Amino acid sequence: MHALLHGTRRSLATPSRNPRMAVVIGRLLGIAFIVCFLTGLYSHFLQDPLPWMVFPTRPIWLYQVSQGIHITAGIACFPLILAKLYIVFPDLFQSPPVRSFTHFLERASIALFVAASLVQITIGLLNTFQFYSLFPFAFRQTHYALSFVIIGSLAIHIAVKLDIISRHWRKRDSAPRVPRTLTVASSSEAASDQAASPQAADVAGSGTRGLTGRVFAWIDSAPQPEPRASRRGFLVTVAIAVGTVVTLTAGQSFRILDGTNLFAPRKKDIGPNAVPVNRTARAAKVLESAVDPAWVLTVSNGTTARVYTYDDLRAMQQYDVELPISCVEGWSQMASWRGPRLRDLVDSVGGDPGARITATSLEQGSIYAVMDMGPEFVRDELTLVALQLNGAPLDIDHGYPARMIAPARPGVLQTKWLSSIEVVA
Ligand SMILES: Nc1nc2c(c(=O)[nH]1)N[C@H]1C(S)=C(S)[C@@H](COP(=O)(O)O)O[C@H]1N2
Ligand SMILES: [Mo]
């Protein structure tokens, strides 16, 4: 068993599998994870705010950019994680597999970290293709919970590897290569190397750190034909892979890459009113209710209620605003909207300046059918009950007769096919 594990690890050794590379890729991955975590928290709490939370409403593209970065960084994680797993793959064959309780914890935390990360990016990617119904669980809650598992195990991982990370953080600080004769199997050789190299002595100490150090020392000592060239080749390969997946998808979020957006689920400007559609009127089962001539928008505040017909809404002061639809799935699109201000409607029923609202759609039985909005968005002069999109009445798929549009909010909260607005204290 011992020999088998060692033989396997030896045969897996390549120049790119070294601690410096693990640190270089790990660093990028760590940055991507933290960026995803922070932008993810922002998106999560916009949709599920804690009672005291107040959100910025400017710049209007804040959520659009934040979520674009979230999805793009998440997509970039695929090649980065694969590269990182490739580099550290021989570590899987450590012998003995578990050396001590600390070593067990170290390996278990890495296993958890890898598993959680792979699940996280996979369900995230599937979600951008709207596979929500594929999961027998609530996507957002799961994604949110996993993010804490990942950030927690990342912190443990960094703590455990701090020694290696700091030694290989800068290129010039990297430990000198240990002689090729060093093998983990032979303690006498290790001992002679300790004498020859202070770094080797440093890493070959007792406990888990010693083992990890020796693992990397061993990887470092693998036969290395033209190591520089093949290491650069590996980095270039990873860079090309990251560049490719980003270039082929990020156009959904960033217009500058629209031309090369071949793989993302949405393209800009394509759809009715030149805007992509998330959920169609047919899918939302509002094909009839949305065009019912008896449609009215009910605005209420306690016992006070007013009923607005479509013509009543059009007779109010109309405003033109430029605001993006920014889907949680990453795609976004700037558009021109026209309609009355939400705050004028709220004022018409004596709404308090600090009041929240709950908006309800004609759509039945969907989590997007009811939406909550805090006062910072309700009072904002850019928040409209939109009747027009890009110079024409809303297409039925974009929420005809009336929909919500507010700055710096996720698309999920831009409720279509409005039927009522309730002021809540
Ligand atoms: N009633 C209702 N409103 C909704 C949705 C929905 O499913 N039902 N989807 C939301 C989502 S997820 C997005 S991204 C935007 C997209 O708006 P669009 O389809 O007009 O582009 O609408 C939002 N409004
Ligand atoms: Mo969305």
Residue 308: give its domain's CATH number. 3.90.420.10
- Determine which residue's CA is closest to atom 11 belonging to ligand 1: 412
Instruction: Answer positive or negative: Cα dihedral of 391, 397, 399, 401.
Output: positive
Q: What is the pLDDT of residues 8-60, one digit of tens each?
A: 988 898 888 888 999 999 999 999 999 999 999 999 999 999 999 999 999 99
Model confidence at 5: pLDDT above 80: yes
pLDDT at 180: 43
Tell me how far the alpha carbon of residue 339 is from its chain's centroid.
Answer: 33
Q: What is the pLDDT of residues 212-252, one digit of tens each?
A: 555 555 555 555 555 666 888 999 999 999 999 998 888 88
Same domain assignment for residues 167 and 206: no
Same domain assignment for residues 308 and 197: no
Distance (Å) from CA 309 to ligand 1 centroid: 22
Mutate to test the pocket of ligand 1, among 278, 287, 385 (most ligand atoms within 8 A of CB): 278
Are residues 327 and 342 in contact, defined by beta-carbon separation less than 8 angstroms?
A: no
Ligand 1 atom closest to residue 276's alpha carbon, by position in its atom list: 21
- Determine which residue's CA is closest to atom 9 belonging to ligand 1: 412
- Edge-to-edge strand ranges of the sheet holding 297-301: 304-308, 297-301, 418-424, 356-361, 370-373
pLDDT at 14: 86
Same domain assignment for residues 168 and 194: no
**260 part of a folded domain:** no
Rounded to two decimals, what is the model's pTM? 0.86
Residue 56: give its domain's CATH number. 1.20.950
- Overall number of domains in the chain: 3
Between strands 370-373 and 384-386, the pairing is unpaired
Alpha carbon distance 415, 360 (integer Å): 8
Mutate to test the pocket of ligand 1, among 279, 282, 390 (most ligand atoms within 8 A of CB): 279
Query: What average pLDDT does this structure show over 281-303?
Result: 97
**274 part of a folded domain:** no
Q: What is the pLDDT of residues 60-118, one digit of tens each?
A: 999 999 999 999 999 999 999 999 999 988 888 888 899 998 889 889 889 999 999 99
Distance (Å) from CA 173 to ligand 2 centroid: 47
Ligand located closest to 329 CA = 2
Question: If we measure between CA atoms, which residue out of 323, 317, 339 comes closest to residue 392?
Answer: 339
Same domain assignment for residues 138 and 24: yes
Residue partners of 318: CB distance under 8 A and separation at least 6: 338, 339, 340, 387
pLDDT at 203: 38
Ligand 1 atom closest to residue 389's alpha carbon, by position in its atom list: 20
Alpha carbon distance 280, 286 (integer Å): 9
**258 part of a folded domain:** no
What is the CB < 6 Å shell around ligand 1? 275-279, 284, 325, 327, 361, 363, 366, 368-369, 398-399, 411-412, 414-417
Please give the residue range of the domain that contains residue 339.
281-424
- pLDDT band, residue 256 (cuts 50/70/90): confident
- Determine which residue's CA is closest to atom 7 belonging to ligand 1: 279
- Determine which residue's CA is closest to atom 1 belonging to ligand 1: 416
Same domain assignment for residues 30 and 120: yes
Same domain assignment for residues 408 and 294: yes
Q: What is the pLDDT of residues 318-345, one digit of tens each?
A: 999 999 999 998 899 999 999 999 999 9
Distance (Å) from CA 277 to ligand 2 centroid: 9
Alpha carbon distance 200, 221 (integer Å): 11
Model confidence at 316: pLDDT above 50: yes
Q: What is the mean pLDDT of the chain?
A: 86
Same domain assignment for residues 27 and 158: yes
Same domain assignment for residues 286 and 375: yes
Q: What is the pLDDT of residues 144-176, one digit of tens each?
A: 999 999 999 999 989 988 999 999 998 864 445
Same domain assignment for residues 200 and 333: no
Model confidence at 270: pLDDT above 50: yes
Q: What is the pLDDT of residues 365-400, one digit of tens each?
A: 888 999 999 999 999 999 999 999 999 999 999 999
Same domain assignment for residues 21 and 144: yes
pLDDT at 257: 86
Q: What is the pLDDT of residues 79-93, one digit of tens each?
A: 999 999 999 888 888
Alpha carbon distance 76, 128 (integer Å): 14
Element spanning 404, H or E:
strand 403-405
Mutate to test the pocket of ligand 1, among 414, 417, 418 (most ligand atoms within 8 A of CB): 414
